[in-house]
Structure 1
Amino acid sequence: MLYRTKLKTVLLVLILMISLCLAPQAQAAVANNAAEFTISPVYPTEQQAGNTGYFSLAVHPASLVPVKVKITNTNQHQAVTYRLKVGNATTNPDGSINYANFKAKKDSTAQYQLTDLVPQAQRKQTVTVPANQSRIVTVNLRLPAQTFKGTIAGGVYVARLTNSAQKQAGNFQTQNHFAMTLPVLLTEHPHAKRIAKMRLDQVKVQAGQVNARLHNVRPVLFGKLHIQAQVTKAQQTKVIAKKTVTNYQVAPNSAFDFLVTDPNKPLNAGHYTLTMQLRSGPRHWHFTRDFTVKASQSAPLTKRIGWFGLPLLLWLIGGGLSLVILALVAVILRQRKKLHQQ
């Protein structure tokens, strides 16, 4: 009996392992074929890093640099229309770089951004590619006569417009969106060493959550950013919130919000101190900032923590019930005393 049980267990484990090995392969095939198009860079003479899969251009003042993107329609039977747009690089809150942001305002510390160099008519283009063919779309970069320092970063974004995989499920219709981005990096002095400079612009509080607004104020793209942050009560040393991350990437002249607190453990009203240590390669930054959480900014009542780690709402309910019980006891005792006197 013990042998049969062991044999069944081994067979179940083998079946599970085979299933796990096959499932990702099937999903990957669907994911790769669903978009039915590819994009690739056509490098100009200014390309400095070889076949990297993106544009890394060493440019000169007052020059015209063609950025060409090859769009290949892999659909065997249908022509497909695509929308090409040019965007600027920004830093996401999760420490990744968005190379095609179309909504963010120009950073106050940036001399130029990529869209400043592109004619208005070329920032958004539409092209139709016949079935199983390719087309090249050109974006001309007009470099200013005035030199710039560091790196200008952005990207060319291509989205499929025709038949975006509409699916009907009952009364609901869903539409998949397929898009790809090619980063574009520009520099006039590719061998010059630029040092990043980070600063803490602001500490923002909402619903008991603390966000530190970190700002890269120089035209330097860098990665491997290590951040350690902790929050203590003002003039105290006990840490009540902390967070550590590694390998963050930061776009040139960009700011992002770093969430310090645990979303499940918002802060109550009070006075606090935020301490941050940042490190990227040989560069280190240290920030300390006192801040106040007002009652209107504090954690919702349902999430506040009281004594012994119990929710504050539970303490309030318990306290209210206790007062009601005491009031009832007082009324009963008073009635008994009256009856006894009678």
Structure 2
Amino acid sequence: MVRLKTNSIVKLFLCIVLCICFLQLPHVNADNISNNAAEFTISPVYPREQKEDDAGYFDLNVKKSTTVPVKVKISNLNKNQDIEYLIKVGNATTNDNGTINYTNFKNKKDTTAKYQLTDFISKTELKQKVTVKAGSSSEVTVNLKVPKQKFPGMIAGGIYVERLTNAYVDEKSGMNTRNHFSMTLPIILTEQAKVKRIAKMELDKVTVKNGPEITAKLHNVKPVMFGKLSIDSKITKKNRSTVLVHKKVNNYQVAPNSSFDYLVSDSSNQLGAGKYTIDMHLQSGKRKWHLVKDFVITSKQGAPLTKRTGWFGVSMLLWIIVVVLILIIAALIVVVVRQRKNLKR
């Protein structure tokens, strides 16, 4: 009888656990799965200027005063619905995390760049829309008009394709939300068979924000793209050798004629007000750069004493309090000793 009761209790407990697990399983809706699928692909249609047929992107060796048709094939995988797409052309920039963005749509040109990709394209072709019928494909053409003047090095950018027909209304919330599906094909242009890959990195400025948060603006001033960049940065007090902040990163990628903000130190390093020096060693393959710059942290920007640490990881404010107390005690001892000597006299 005892065994039967025990088994019954165990079975009842297992049933309760299974019911709870079943109730907690997420409800999957087939319509949501289809809405979350991109349902399209893009592929390059190479012109004769393409260097390699299987590159997977546009790597073009162009000639001056020519027009190069760059075509993108968009395939609509949805067999039941026509879908509209947005096609835009952008320029290559370097992100702050050390990756290349091939579709920057801002018009601001780098001061060191002679040309950028969007200079070769008419305004009507910088932004286009196309509707692809269900289960079929369509080609979109962007014509690159190469100028008469030769350009050095390389120019980089990309074609961005975004699916527009994917909006739906959530009846419960009443909000109109849109899933975002997009793809990009890089475009790289050169006019020489062999590009001189002479790169030059510069340290434009050091920015200090409250905390302090210290950022170095690194600038590639040459029309050359390169990768596997390592950055070894150190911060010291000016004219001192003790390293206060040390940071190292690897495998950064840099776009031609571009700059990016490299975070050298965040607020966790607790640097106070004063004059400092940033020392940076950069290397990409055989290329090496040594960049040094002085900067100042003001009293408002520096970390407060309550957040700064001193010896043995103890708060600087606590150390100051201890030192003050020691000085007060020492002063009291001197006063007491002198009074005793006077009383003896």
Measured against the shorter chain, the TM-score band is 0.7 to 0.9
Percent identity over the alignment is 56
Q: For 1:151-208, what per-residue CA distance to the aligned partner results, in whole angstroms no more than 9, with x for missing partners?
A: 0000000111111476677676653211111000000003132211111111111121
- SS of 1:105's equivalent in the other structure is coil
Q: What pairs up with 1:257-276 in 2 under 5 angstroms? A: 257-276=261-280
Equivalent residue, structure 2, for 1:191:
194
SS at match of 2:268: coil
Q: Provide the rounded CA distance (Å) in 2 between the counterparts of 1:252 and 1:88.
A: 10
Q: Shift in Å at residue 272 of structure 1?
A: 0.9
Aligned pairs for 1:211-290 within 5 A: 211-290=215-294
Q: Counterpart of 1:326?
A: none
Give distance in 2, aligned partners of 1:314 and 1:157: 56
Alignment RMSD (CA, Å): 2.5
Question: 8 Å contact 1:227–1:246 — kept in the other structure?
Answer: yes
- Asked whether the equivalents of residues 167 and 175 of structure 1 are also in contact (C-alpha less than 8 Å), the reply is no
TM normalised by structure 2 equals: 0.78
State the 1:51 CA deviation.
Answer: 1.4
Q: Report what 2:125 is aligned to.
A: 122
Residues in 2 aligned to 1:238 and 1:298: alpha-carbon distance in whole angstroms: 18
Query: Given residue 106 of structure 1, which amino acid in structure 2 is its aligned partner?
Result: K
Q: CA deviation at 1:267?
A: 2.5
Task: Identify if the C-alpha distance between structure 1 residues 191 and 290 changes in structure 2 by more than 3 Å, giving closer, same or farther.
Answer: same
Q: Say if 2:83 is the partner of 1:80.
A: yes
Amino acid at match of 1:201: D
- How far apart, CA to CA, are the structure 2 residues paired with 1:156 and 1:176? 20
Label 1:51 to 1:77 Cα distance change in 2 as closer, same or farther (>3 A).
same
Whole-Å Cα distance in 1 between the matches of residues 303 and 252 of structure 2? 28
Structure 1 residues 171 and 266: CA distance shift in structure 2, 3 A = farther
Q: Measured at CA, do residues 169 and 257 of structure 1 come closer, stay the same or move farther in structure 2, by a change above 3 Å? A: farther
Corresponding residue SS for 1:77: coil
CA displacement at 1:271 relative to structure 2? 1.2
2:149 to 142, 146, 149: 146
Q: Give, in whole Å, the separation in 2 of the partners of 1:176 and 1:266.
A: 42
Which aligned pairs between 1:103-118 and structure 2 lie closer than 5 A?
103=106, 105-118=108-121
Q: Distance in 1 between matches of 2:88 and 2:227?
A: 26
Whether the aligned pair in 2 keeps the contact of 1:157 and 1:181 (CA below 8 Å) is yes
Q: Return the alpha-carbon distance in structure 2 between the equivalents of residues 312 and 222 of structure 1.
A: 44
Supply the distance in 1 between the matched residues of 2:267 and 2:167 (Cα, whole angstroms).
35
Q: Deviation of residue 264 (structure 1)?
A: 2.8
Point out the more displaced range, 184-193 or 137-146.
184-193
Secondary structure of the residue aligned to 2:300 is helix
* 1:69 maps onto 2:72 in alignment: yes
Single out whichever of 188-197 and 107-116 deviates more from structure 2: 188-197
Structure with greater Cα Rg: 2
Q: Secondary structure at the match of 1:264?
A: helix
- Over 3 Å counting, the alpha-carbon distance change for 1:92 and 1:34 in structure 2 is same
User: In the superposition, relative to structure 1, how do residues 301 and 70 fare at CA in structure 2: closer, same or farther (>3 Å)?
Assistant: farther
Structure 2 runs not aligned, ≥5 long: 1-32, 326-345
Q: TM-score, normalised by structure 1?
A: 0.78
What is the deviation of 1:262?
3.6
| Long gaps (5+) in structure 1 | 1-29, 323-342
SS in structure 2 at match of 1:146:
coil
Equivalent residue pairs, number: 290
